[in-house]
Structure formats: structure tokens, C-alpha cells
Structure 1
């Protein structure tokens, strides 16, 4: 299916919300996300407005995050990936000190009917390209140990297991990294 990969706009907070709610209702959500539908469905509109504002093209060149979406020719949102900028010396979501500047890819989702068609490649090209534009030379992500399909996709995209793990709310997660 023809599609465009682009950064979100701050005004698209409702679309961001709706795609995230679809992702959290996906059959794979328990091994794909560190949150649940019930938790995020309770977030107020202001949460989604702020998320869109800070990760959109409108956030400017100094933004600490950028969300990319795949949009079909008829305007449907097919998938997404978010790149977070991590700076050495700061703490990550696990409260561990970040040792090197880099990108952290989170919130990866492709609607089931579009999986296995290369859409994730296009999303990662944009997400990692933005990180390279920010002069970063490494990227990481976490993937649930019981999500072999995602692990395979990430390996195909050049990520390898770093050996770091953590057990989060959804269970055991593996860190995967790659050079940019």
C-alpha cells in the first residue's frame, strides 16, 4: 500500500491518541508495550496534547523526541515509531545513568494487516535518520523476550542484543543496540 512517512504535527494529538489506543488493544500489546490500554485510556486530553507538542515537527530542532507515522494515501495511520534523544549523564526510564549520547526508539507499532510488508523499515529509516541528523551515532530499544517477531525485525534492521536486560511491568525486556 502506498504510504508517506512523516513526523507528526502538534495538531494531530487526536490521531496520535487513536493510533496508540489501537496499538494497546493489539493482540501483541502485552509483549510490545510497557503500558496498558486501561492506563493510557485514562490519560486526559492534555497528556496527548503535550505528547504531540513535544514530539512533533512543530517542537523545532531542539526537541528531545520525534514521532514518525506511516500514513496511507487515503489518510489512514498505519504505524508509528518514536525516537527519544538520550544524553550522557541523565537518567533513563529505569533510573539508570546514560553513559553515551544516543537515540532510544520506543512506541513502535504497525497495524497487523501491514506487518511484514517493509513498513517498519521505512519508519526506522525516518526515526534513525532523525537521530543521525542530531549527530548521534548509536541507537537502542527494548523488546520483550517473548516477542520473537519483533526481535527478528529489529535484527534485520541491524540491531543486536547488548546483553542488558530489565524486568518491567510487562515482564523481561532485552536491550538491542546498533550503530548509526
Structure 2
């Protein structure tokens, strides 16, 4: 794999926006994201600038990673959001421990199967475990019950189902299933 896995920079908001719009046009988008292409198109440049700045290198609340090809193009992304027991929870139940929540996982179709998703997840897990404050106890994510391909990948990456689930907003009874990886025991 020749891609560089790295955090986004605040000035890369156009690239973040364009990759997100591509992700929302993917055929799997309806079961992969809680957003739509049409909705994302209505967002202002200021929205994308703020979103990217919040997820850029050095931020403790969120960290967005990208897979950058040698030609500078972006082949994939994911974001890890810090969640505290007494803080904001973006989706699902409030955590009982400090955790990160992986969202926005996307790899371009022509790049799938080559290890990029694995590399993005390794970066997110390494970042999560490296935080000194808060000390993250688990990394979680949600997968739509109608997305078995993603669920299989997450299991392969070491995530296990917790048995928790949430209704999909506007999903006519569909559920998002929670998966987690617990902090490795050292010592």
C-alpha cells in the first residue's frame, strides 16, 4: 500500500467536503451514513471549514484520518470522536467510560480490498489509545443491520457486537448495531 494515512489539516476543507459528497453518492450510502448527498450539498463553506478545523490534527474532540495517494488524491477517510460520560453523545446511549466513536468510514470503491480500511482503523485505534486525557477505554461504532459487508469488516478488524442497538433516524424500524474494541490490557 502506497497511501499515507494521516490526519486532515484545517485548510483541507474542500477536500473533506468533496470526499464526503463522494461517500454520500456511493450505492451503500443509505445504510452507511446518517446523512444524504442532498442534505450535504446545502451546507455552506463555513460549515465545512468549521467541521474540518474541529477534526484537524491537534484537536482533542475529534480526529479525521485520510488515506492520501502518492498523487495527493484521497482514497478514504474515517473520523474518531471523543465521548465522555458527562459530555455530548452524537449517537446512541451515553457512555459509561471515556471512549472514541468511529464515524464517517469511507474508502473509494476502486481502492477497496487493498488494506486502506485496515490502515485507517489502525490509525484511529492508535490515536485513541495514545490519548493521555481522557484515557479511552473503548472504541465504538455503529453499523446498519442491513450492511453485512461492513459488519464483517468490523469483526475482522477486531470489533465485537455489544448487543446494544439504536433505531435508525427515519429508518422505518431499522436498527444500528453497536460494535466495540476494548482498550488492550497492558502490564
Normalised to the residue count of structure 2, the TM-score between the two structures is 0.90
2:178 equivalent to 1:175: yes
Counterpart of 2:96 in structure 1 is 99
Aligned residue runs from structure 1 range 91-130, under 5 A: 91-94=88-91, 96-130=93-127
- Give the direction of change, closer, same or farther, for the CA distance of 1:95–1:127 in structure 2 (3 Å limit): closer
Task: Identify which of 79, 83, 103 aligns with 2:80.
Answer: 83
Mapped partners of 1:178, 1:133: distance in 2:
15
- Secondary structure at the residue paired with 1:5? strand
Q: Deviations over 1:6-60 (max 9, x none)?
A: 0000000000000000000000000100110011110101110001111101xx2
Q: CA deviation at 1:96?
A: 3.3
Stretch deviating more after TM superposition (153-162 or 85-94)? 85-94
2:75 equivalent to 1:72: no
Q: CA deviation at 1:146?
A: 0.6
Mapped partners of 2:92, 2:99: distance in 1:
16
Aligned residue runs from structure 1 range 152-163, under 5 A: 152-163=152-163
Mapped partners of 2:116, 2:92: distance in 1:
32
Cα-Cα RMSD: 1.3
Aligned residue runs from structure 1 range 18-97, under 5 A: 18-57=18-57, 60=58, 63-94=60-91, 96-97=93-94
**Number of residues of Structure 1 aligned to a counterpart in Structure 2:** 177
Mapped partners of 1:95, 1:139: distance in 2:
13
Counterpart of 1:165 in structure 2 is 165
Q: CA deviation at 1:63?
A: 2.1
Counterpart of 2:141 in structure 1 is 141
Mapped partners of 1:11, 1:93: distance in 2:
25
Normalised to the residue count of structure 1, the TM-score between the two structures is 0.94
- Secondary structure at the residue paired with 1:53? helix
Mapped partners of 2:30, 2:69: distance in 1:
26
8 Å contact from structure 2 (residues 168, 176) kept in 1: yes
